[in-house]
Chain A
Amino acid sequence: MAWRDSKASGGRLLLFTASIILGIAAVVSIQSFSENLEENIALQSKTLMGADFVIDSNQPPNEKVKAIIDSLGGADGRSVGFPSMAVFPKNGDAKLVGVRGIEGEYPFYGELETKPTDAAQNYQKSGSALVDATLMLQYGLSVGDSIKLGNSMFPIQGTLISAPGTSGIGASIAPPVIIPYEAVEGTGLIQMGSRVGYDFYFVAEPEQDLQELEDIVDPQLDVENADLDTHMSTAAQLGRSYDNFGKFLNLMAFIALLLGCVGVASSVHIHIREKLRSVAVLKCIGATRKQTFLIYLLQVAGMGLVGGVLGIFGGLILQQSFPLLLQGFLPFEVEISLVPQALFSGLILGIMLAVLFALMPLLNTWFVSPLQVLRVDNTKNPKSRKLQLWVVLAIIVFVFAFSFWLLGNVKYALYFVLGIIVVFALLGGVATLFMRAIKRFFPTSWGFTSRQSLLNLYRPNNQTSVLILAIGVGTFLISTLYFTKDILLSQVSLDTSENTPNLVLMDVQSEEKLEAATSIEASGLKVLNNIPIITMRMHQIKDRPVRELILDTTALQNRWVLFHEFRVTYRDTLIASEQTVEGTWPLERKDNGLIPISLSENVAADAKVKLGDTLVFNVQGVLMETQVAHLRSLDWARMQINFNILFPSGILEEAPQFHVLTTNAPDANKSASLQRELVRKFPSVSIIDLRQLFTVIEGILSKIAWVINFMAFFSILTGVIVLIGSVRNSKYQRIKENVLLRTLGAKSKQILRITALEYFYLGLLGGGIGIVLSLLGSLLLAQFVFETSFSPSIIPFVVVLPSIILLVLLIGMLNSKSVLQSPPLEVLRKEAG
């Protein structure tokens, strides 16, 4: 019976199936790909590191670290890495690169992928360089050209396509250049202030327990400012960062699925409403409640199953596109394989969600009285209301259970479910309010066609609320993503005024300071900042030595402050990005012999110190006792040189120091020529071009936004299907209305206008509410998550909203073609029939 009945309503049930296919496809594809990613990271963990474990430090190893390395049988390979300017004599250009000097057979797993392939084997012997492929392309370099690093010139042996340990994002800011380890010294680039990383690579014995090794050795290295990472821990860390992104995408896919389910509920609602009389007839002729209920429940479950299966196929196809989509984020190739668990969950999701969301309208069949054969009664049975509440609860529990399964965290799953409820309720609520407001304050002065199209939103069996919800959620997702990208970019936006630095010279030695400044001024630019920098580490926080805190796992301090090498300056003035939070400025020395210092709020919070607490710093071997006398808030929203720790003048002037000089180059050409000039004169100076950096960051955010938009697109597509479904569901009613109007003398233009305006209102309402809610959401996000001001971009209003309206209009009109073209007499005959 279920099958026979479904044949008659095939079209509608097919659309109901279609509205969940996309959601399931999205969920299955992301789950499968995340699983593939995890497997690949685990499989390739050694290849990703190039060794079994590594000891790394950002200072040359001291005796204790050397002893530990020796006790482990000595390193099998080592490397030293640092950022530096590279000059390309072929065209005179200069660019910040990540230099890596490698010794030994490293990598021991995987390979340095180069072109030509033998370049990886030969560069050490020939004392030449391997240069990042993108960099080669960008600067028009080819194998055989030269690259100058500091004092040394290296022939380019090959193009570096991939290397273990070079991440996608880091490589976009400072592309990797590999040279032999022995050649590093000759460059003269490692000087005071240089940000150098020393890595010692090890190949473990087959039976060696790496976890145990890490547990024992890592704490010993921690106190010496070094670290031991195994290939497993590194892979786990990498996996975690991708896993979070994967979970986020998964939730977005789930939202698309839920949206589809709202469409299911709406389609089934209309399907059942039209079947109520048949149900009553069946009951009249002796069918039990259970039998009639089962007819439609089986139909829905069947459609859920079909949706699930088709969704799985769609997901499998989609899964293949993810490696392409995530190109640039992944430091390795991902092999795609079938993930049975994801397929199974897709199927279960399809059936469960279809049945759960359809249950609410389905319950009506349970309470239909056989009397309805004689008289249609639309009053709701109170028992049905109670049961519907239980169904709503069951849906919420299921959504929570699935989110928990995805996120593995009760709190986050709860937040997600609450978020979904709030957004859906807000959209639904605002849509209902709007509809009521329109009815209450109906624009009676409008022309007939405008009024009639507005009234169509209230036609019998209308799905206005569902459509506004579908359009609204899609618009909400896309606009929120857009606004969030805006907020993130505004945090790193560049001030274009000529007094704002956009070129930063790092690691300028004291003896080079004057000459570098002269060079800048000689090229017609101003030196905007000349900041002395002294490196130091925390030695003691209040009365507890940092070494002790490192070993104390119950210490409350955030661990980064214990290991960090702070770059500190001294001055008596505050700059524009700083504001006093507590204490007095300028810093005044007291009689207690302690040096008054100023801390940024976040360092004070992480080090668990407040005004008046003491801190002892190790300034390159000299211990300095200080007291927190001033706390500042820092505005990180601009790319400025901010300091977490400030000393007063008159203390650190004689300490070994280097300088940071800044200037503003009015355009890219001027910036490039100055960089060339400076690198020629001061090979060890690194120059950060903030304009370039900003472009890189913008590029990365755009890539991320693209992937997220891709997922949001599923919600939009699902919305489109729900829209088509709704147009189809109300098709007969529309035909009747249009034919009647035409019979009464309406011209085609008037009917077309009524139909077009109806979709325009739907698009405007759904899209408008979506954007307004997204604006509010982004405002909250800016205020509470990013802690920044929010000035919304105009793009969602002038591009997203009109596009959504146009899309709704287009789909609506295309699907109404047959409605607009139906001959009146045919419909009137049917009616009379």
Chain B
Amino acid sequence: MSKILNVAHLGKTYTSGSKQLTVLDDVSFSIDSGETFAIIGPSGSGKTTLLGLCAGLDHPDAGTVELSGVNMGSLNEDERARLRNEKVGFIFQNFQLLPTLTALENVVVPLELQGAKNPTKIGKELLGKVGLTDRMHHYPSQLSGGEQQRVALARAFSNNPAILFADEPTGNLDQDTGDRIVQLLFELNQEAGTTLVIVSHDLELAQKCNYQLRLRGGKVISNEILIEN
């Protein structure tokens, strides 16, 4: 199976006042296409930073990230944006929907950015899959948290990504809603054959993935296979 993500000796340091804060230190791992991968660890362990670097949202201070065979370090900001647009989907803890767009409009943003033809049709289909056909013309402020996250799910799959990064996807939801979202996330993932990378505190959610990477203080403390394919 080909590697969709290859992370080697990744390091990231932030400067806070006069202090240097090492957030990630020599992190290496790789993910095969179609896998589900959980990054877990306590607060401040560097999970979100790692996710951001993997998605090319920032530059590492050390090491390399190869996404879909492309070294992210060799790309400029626009090239990385294009790569994300074509290969990557995102789900955030805070849903991150554009408040001025309706549910349907939010879902089709990645397609619109690509200049894709007939994005609305795809958007409607995806909203149907997440059970929001009757809410597609509502604005984020008119939707509940669970509904907003379902819109975000639909958006994440709209560009048919090769890899999907989910940052605490249930962090802002109650147990029942969170469970439904996770179920939906895995169903859609299976259907599309997308690689899924989840950052979470939720060990139960992490247990559902094939692989689990544990971080502490910016270092990998374990990288284990939970479920064999």
Contacts and interface: CB of A to CB of B under 8 A. Distances in A.
A271 B77 CA distance: 34
B49 A825 contact: yes
Interface stretch (A99-107, A479-487, A742-750): A742-750
B109 interface: yes
Interface string B37-53: 00000000000110011
Contacts of A448: 109, 112-113, 115
A741 B110 CA distance: 8
B78 interface: yes
B168 interface: yes
A743 B109 contact: no
Interface stretch (A79-87, A454-462, A679-687): A454-462
A747 B48 contact: no
B167 interface: yes
A339 B167 CA distance: 64
B154 to A, nearest CB: 13
Given A455-B100, A825-B58, A832-B93, A749 B78 contact: yes
A746 B48 contact: no
Given A824-B52, A825-B52, A745 B98 contact: no
Contacts of A455: 98, 100-101
A745 B52 contact: no
Interface in A348-373: none
Interface string A727-765: 000000000110011111111111000000000000000
A747 B81 contact: yes
B57 A825 contact: yes
Interface string A804-829: 00000000000000000001111011
Contact of A750 (B55, B86, B113, B141): B113
B57 A456 contact: no
B48 A832 contact: yes
Contacts of A654: none
B133 interface: no
A744 B85 contact: yes
Given A748-B78, A828-B92, A743 B100 contact: no
Contacts of A741: 98, 109, 113
A742 B110 CA distance: 10
Given A824-B57, A828-B48, A745 B92 contact: no
Contact of B81 (A737, A746, A826): A746
Contact of B48 (A745, A823, A829): A829
B114 interface: yes
B124 interface: no
Given A455-B100, A459-B100, A744-B113, A828 B52 contact: yes
B96 A460 contact: no
Interface residues of A, number: 28
A63 interface: no
Contacts of B52: 824-825, 828-829
B98 A737 contact: yes
Interface in B66-84: 77-78, 81-84
Contacts of A743: 55, 57, 84, 90, 96
Contacts of B88: 745
B94 interface: yes
B148 to A, nearest CB: 13
Contacts of B85: 744-746
A831 interface: yes
Contacts, number: 90
B160 to A, nearest CB: 13
A747 B112 CA distance: 12
Contacts of B98: 452, 455, 737, 740-741
A743 B54 CA distance: 12
A824 B113 contact: no
Given A825-B52, A831-B92, A742 B81 contact: yes
B99 interface: yes
Nearest to A744: B110
Interface residues of B, number: 36
A749 B115 CA distance: 14
B77 A745 contact: no
A831 B171 CA distance: 12
Given A825-B52, A829-B49, A829-B52, A747 B82 contact: yes
A669 B20 CA distance: 81
A464 B110 CA distance: 27
Contacts of B167: 828, 832
A446 to B, nearest CB: 11
B110 A748 contact: no
A831 B83 CA distance: 24
Contacts of A737: 98
Contacts of A749: 78
Nearest to B199: A832
A823 B168 contact: no
Contact of A744 (B49, B90, B168): B90
Given A745-B114, A825-B58, A832 B94 contact: yes
Contacts of B114: 745
Indicate the member of A460, A748, A825 with the most B CB atoms within 10 Å.
A825
Contacts of A458: 100
Contacts of A452: 98, 100-101
A826 B78 CA distance: 18
A742 B101 CA distance: 16
Nearest to B58: A825
Interface in B94-146: 94, 96, 98-101, 109-110, 112-115, 141
B93 A745 contact: no
Given A823-B57, A825-B58, A747 B94 contact: no
Which of A455, A743, A824: most chain B CB closer than 10 A?
A743
B186 to A, nearest CB: 22
A289 B199 CA distance: 44
Contacts of B96: 736, 740, 743, 831
Nearest to A458: B100
A23 B78 CA distance: 44
Interface in A440-492: 448, 452, 455-456, 458-460
A459 B99 contact: yes
A748 B77 contact: yes
A750 B110 CA distance: 12
Contacts of B58: 823-826
A94 to B, nearest CB: 71
Interface in B155-180: 155, 159, 167-168
Contacts of A826: 58
Nearest to A748: B78
Nearest to A750: B113
A78 B24 CA distance: 98
Contacts of B168: 832
Contacts of B99: 459-460
A823 B57 CA distance: 7
A350 to B, nearest CB: 36
A62 B115 CA distance: 94
A743 B115 CA distance: 16
Contacts of B90: 743-744
**Most A CB atoms within 10 A — which of B86, B96, B141?**
B96
A448 B78 CA distance: 17
Which 7 A-B residue pairs are closest in the complex by CB-CB distance? A745-B85, A825-B52, A448-B112, A825-B58, A455-B100, A824-B57, A825-B57
Given A741-B109, A825-B53, A832-B167, 12 more contacts: A452-B101, A455-B98, A736-B96, A737-B98, A741-B113, A743-B57, A743-B90, A743-B96, A745-B82, A745-B113, A745-B159, A824-B52
Interface of A: 448, 452, 455-456, 458-460, 736-737, 740-750, 823-826, 828-829, 831-832
13 contacts: A448-B115, A460-B141, A745-B82, A745-B83, A745-B88, A746-B113, A748-B78, A748-B81, A825-B49, A825-B58, A828-B48, A829-B49, A832-B93
Interface of B: 48-49, 52-53, 55, 57-58, 77-78, 81-86, 88, 90, 92-94, 96, 98-101, 109-110, 112-115, 141, 155, 159, 167-168
